[in-house]
């Protein structure tokens, strides 16, 4: 019995080993060539065969190979037509063309159409094996890139971003609706609320996800350099411009540019950015001809750009161009229902990244953190959790381990809104919003979430009620 078990294990191991060999599909109508290649390559590659282009397409659809070895001269659909179909069906799979001397010119044409390389009959065995080995490594690297892209896409999917509050759920719904479109998006919110994270979610759930998103902090680049950084420059455009430099808008063609802190752009750059949004074109510094680039713009600001458009600090026409779809990320102090989830998320992820034990937080510690105002928002919370994991002992995190500023939050901070305002633990605008939010939710519940009936109960119109619900981040469902 044990011997049989060992034999089975050996067979399984050999099967695994065989399946790990690179899979080469040989497409050739000559049986002698197919048999020769079977003998030559069977020790190093897993082989499958097709006699026609049509059969090759069926086989690649059922079981995509790592490499296709494709003869140019085939009955019916020839090698060039088959190559074009393969490029459409399996664009990242290398295709090596097989050619005789008389079809060498056609092989060069095939390279221009996307073939990986070509090999001539009669085969040089060492050359053929080296070529197939290089092609399979290229295929393996491409698969790895595709897997990494898929993993990045999953990481930045809205389903993996922590946020159970009504306001964040509204943001997630907007991201899911807008991400597949080329629409310009404006994200507003205080520093540290996660604007770049939402920008990445928009990018990696879009058709542009195959290329990396370019993130630019407009406030971090000195004013004299930002035009060159965004749009590039020509050789000799200014002292030190020894060669042409491509700007980020040109490099990000067919991708997404995230312009963080766009409210800090100088008015002259605002005008140039407006031109890009209106025409899709820009001019390099020192250049004369416009350059086209297909770029999706996602902008973000912690300033009130609508107010800036009124007081003249931000161009009104640019604001309206950017504000096609807008999303506001609420500060952490308005997301109490998300705080415990975020603490758990950061504790798990940071402990895994650092290779140390995860820690829980005592109820009293959570209570203090719930009362803290979080001026640095989610970024401040993330840094706090990492610091507590690295510098603290094992066991639940206690209030004594928190920074003094968090421990000094009044232990008996009242829940009563009026008292909270009088003590300075809540601003007047926050208190008004909180009161209005509770009243509207109660009216909706009494009206079984029928907005018309809820509006009547509140003595207002449905349009005004919907506007207030949007402003306060109240779920419409």
* pLDDT tens, residue by residue, 170-188: 999 999 999 999 999 999 9
d(CA 149, CA 144): 9
Both tokens of 278, joined, read: 């209106």
Instruction: Give the pLDDT score at 324.
Output: 94
Q: What is the DSSP letter of 325?
A: E
β-strand 232-233 against 245-246: which pairing, if any?
antiparallel
Report pTM.
Answer: 0.61
Q: In what order do the strands lie in the sheet with 214-217?
A: 214-217, 255-260, 295-301, 185-188, 325-328
CATH of domain 159-328: 3.40.50.300
pLDDT of residue 148: 63
DSSP helix/strand/coil, 154: helix
What is the C-alpha to C-alpha distance for residues 120 and 73, in angstroms, rounded to an integer? 12
How many CB atoms are located within 10 Å of the residue 406 CB?
17
* 8-state DSSP, 147: H
Q: Exposed (0-12), middle (13-18) or buried (19+): which is 364, by Cβ within 10 Å?
A: middle
The second-level CATH assignment, the architecture, of 417-472 is: Orthogonal Bundle (1.10)
Using DSSP's 3-state secondary structure scheme, residue 215 falls into strand
Compute the distance between CA of residue 228 and CA of residue 427 in angstroms, rounded to an integer: 43
The CA distance from 149 to 157, in Å, is 12
pLDDT of residue 424: 57
Evaluate if residue 113 carries a pLDDT over 50. yes
Per-residue pLDDT, averaged over 97-102, amounts to: 78
Mean pLDDT score of the chain:
84
Sheet holding 23-27, edge to edge: 46-50, 23-27, 67-71, 95-99, 117-120
Extents of the domains making up the chain: 11-151, 159-328, 332-407, 417-472
CATH architecture of 11-151: 3-Layer(aba) Sandwich (3.40)
The class that CATH gives domain 332-407 is mainly alpha
Residue 197 makes CB contacts below 8 A (sequence gap 6+) with 156, 161
Q: Which residue has the tokens 């297909």?
A: 294
Q: What is the pLDDT at residue 420?
A: 56
Least confident of 63-72, 174-183, 281-290, 366-375: 366-375
Residue with tokens 């019995």: 1
pLDDT digits (tens, 9 = 90+) for 236-272: 888 888 888 999 999 999 999 999 999 999 999 999 9
Distance of CA 67 to the CA centre of its chain: 29
d(CA 131, CA 126): 9
DSSP bridge partners of 95: 68
Structure-model confidence comparison of residues 18 and 433, the more confident one: 433
The confidence score (pLDDT) of residue 7 equals 40
pLDDT at 371: 84
What secondary structure, in 3-state letters, does 384-433 show?
HHHHHHHHCCCCCECHHHCCHHHHCCCCCCCCCHHHHHHHCCCCHHHHHH
Instruction: Please check the confidence at residue 475 and state whether its pLDDT lies above 90.
Output: no
Which is more confident, 13 or 117?
117
Is the pLDDT at 156 greater than 60? The verdict is: no
Q: Helices then strands (H, E): number in the chain?
A: 21, 14
Lowest mean pLDDT among 49-58, 113-122, 424-433: 424-433
Are 159-328 and 332-407 equal in CATH topology?
no
- The answer for residues whose C-beta is within 8 angstroms of residue 327's C-beta and 6 or more apart is 171, 174, 175, 185, 186, 187, 188, 198
Q: Are strands 95-99 and 245-246 parallel, antiparallel or unpaired?
A: unpaired
């Amino acid at each position: 019995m044990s011997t049989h078990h060992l034999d089975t294990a050996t067979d399984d191991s050999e099967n695994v080993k065989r399946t790990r060999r690179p899979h080469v599909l040989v497409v050739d109508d000559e049986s002698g060539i197919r048999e020769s290649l079977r003998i030559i390559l069977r020790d190093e590659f897993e082989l499958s065969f097709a006699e026609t282009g049509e059969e090759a397409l069926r086989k690649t659809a059922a079981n995509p190979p790592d490499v296709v070895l494709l003869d140019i001269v085939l009955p019916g659909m020839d090698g060039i037509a088959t190559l074009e179909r393969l490029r459409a069906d399996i664009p990242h799979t290398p295709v090596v063309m097989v050619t005789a001397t008389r079809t060498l010119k056609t092989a060069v044409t095939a390279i221009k159409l996307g073939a990986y390389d070509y090999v001539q009959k009669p085969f040089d065995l060492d050359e053929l094996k080296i070529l197939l080995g290089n092609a399979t490594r290229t295929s393996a690297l491409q698969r790895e890139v595709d897997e990494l892209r898929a993993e990045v896409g999953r990481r930045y999917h809205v389903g993996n971003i922590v946020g159970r509050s009504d306001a964040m759920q509204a943001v997630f719904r907007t991201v899911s609706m807008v991400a597949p479109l080329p629409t310009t998006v404006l994200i507003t919110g205080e520093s540290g609320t996660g604007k770049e994270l939402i920008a990445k979610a928009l990018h990696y759930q879009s058709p542009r996800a195959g290329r990396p998103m370019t993130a630019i902090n407009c406030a971090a680049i000195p004013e004299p350099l930002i035009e060159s950084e965004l749009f590039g420059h020509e050789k000799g455009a200014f002292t030190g411009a020894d060669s042409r430099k491509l700007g980020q808008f040109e490099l990000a063609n067919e991708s997404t540019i995230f312009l963080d802190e766009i409210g800090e752009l100088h008015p002259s750059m605002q005008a140039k950015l407006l031109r890009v949004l209106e025409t899709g074109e820009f001019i390099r510094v020192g250049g004369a001809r416009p350059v086209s680039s297909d770029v999706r713009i996602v902008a973000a600001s912690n300033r009130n750009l609508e107010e800036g458009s009124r007081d003249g600090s931000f161009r009104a026409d640019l604001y309206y161009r950017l504000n096609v779809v807008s999303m506001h990320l609420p500060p952490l102090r308005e997301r109490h229902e998300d705080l415990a989830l975020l603490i758990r998320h950061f504790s798990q992820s940071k402990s895994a990244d650092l290779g140390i034990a995860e820690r829980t937080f005592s109820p009293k510690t959570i209570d203090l953190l719930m009362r803290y105002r979080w001026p640095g928002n989610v970024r401040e919370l993330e840094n706090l959790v990492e610091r507590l994991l690295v510098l603290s002992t094992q066991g639940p995190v206690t209030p004594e381990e928190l920074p003094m500023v968090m421990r000094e939050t009044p232990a008996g901070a009242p829940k009563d809104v009026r008292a909270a305002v009088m003590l300075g633990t809540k601003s007047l605008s926050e208190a008004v919003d909180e009161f209005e939010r509770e009243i509207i939710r109660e009216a909706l519940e009494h009206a079984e979430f029928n907005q018309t009936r809820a509006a009547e109960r509140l003595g207002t119109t449905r349009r005004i009620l919907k506007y207030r619900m949007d402003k306060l981040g109240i779920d419409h469902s």
